């Protein structure tokens, strides 16, 4: 069965370190997204991609970057981790058709100490 997987599931790092969270989907979806989820907020969009070599900034993109070198993967990099980036991160994908639902990964709990 097709799926979307994130790794690691849990990560603890120190401020200032570079961290990369992996996202891999086997749906062959063109669209991929990274969100963060914090208490008191709805899911907030960090970056998204509509296809290979396409990347776009979301509403909370500062301090994050992504790259899309193939259809299956959209890694999220925190260039210099900050305590404010402690959060749960979700990757999602969808097909290019309109009104198509998002498929979410199980999330990565990141703690920046």
Partner 1 sequence: KNQVEQSPQSLIILEGKNCTLQCNYTVSPFSNLRWYKQDTGRGPVSLTIMTFSENTKSNRRYTATLDADTKQSSLHITASQLSDSASYICVVSEDGANSKLTFGKGITLSVRP
Interacting residues with partner 1 (CB under 8 A): 40-45, 90, 92, 98-99, 101-107
What are the tokens at 2? 């097709």
**Choice between 3 and 62, CB closer to partner 1:** 3
Q: The dihedral of CA 90, 91, 94, 98: what is its sign?
A: positive
Tell the smallest beta-carbon distance from residue 104 to partner 1 (Å): 3
What are the tokens at 100? 């198509």
Tell the smallest beta-carbon distance from residue 62 to partner 1 (Å): 18
Distance in angstroms (rounded) separating the CA atoms of residues 11 and 35: 16
The DSSP call for residue 59 is T
Tell the smallest beta-carbon distance from residue 60 to partner 1 (Å): 12
**Choice between 48 and 64, CB closer to partner 1:** 48
Closest CA to 44 of 13, 88, 77: 88
**Choice between 64 and 90, CB closer to partner 1:** 90
């Amino acid at each position: 069965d097709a799926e979307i997987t994130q790794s690691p599931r849990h990560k603890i790092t120190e401020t200032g370190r570079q961290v990369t969270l992996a996202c891999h989907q086997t749906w062959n979806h063109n669209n991929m997204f990274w969100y963060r989820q914090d208490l008191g907020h709805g899911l907030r969009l960090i970056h998204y991609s509509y296809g290979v070599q396409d990347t776009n900034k979301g509403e909370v993109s500062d301090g994050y970057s992504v790259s899309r070198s193939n259809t299956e993967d959209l890694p999220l990099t925190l260039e210099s981790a900050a305590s404010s980036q402690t959060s749960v991160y979700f990757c999602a994908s969808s097909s290019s058709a309109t009104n198509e639902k998002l498929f979410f990964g199980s999330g990565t709990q990141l703690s920046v100490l």
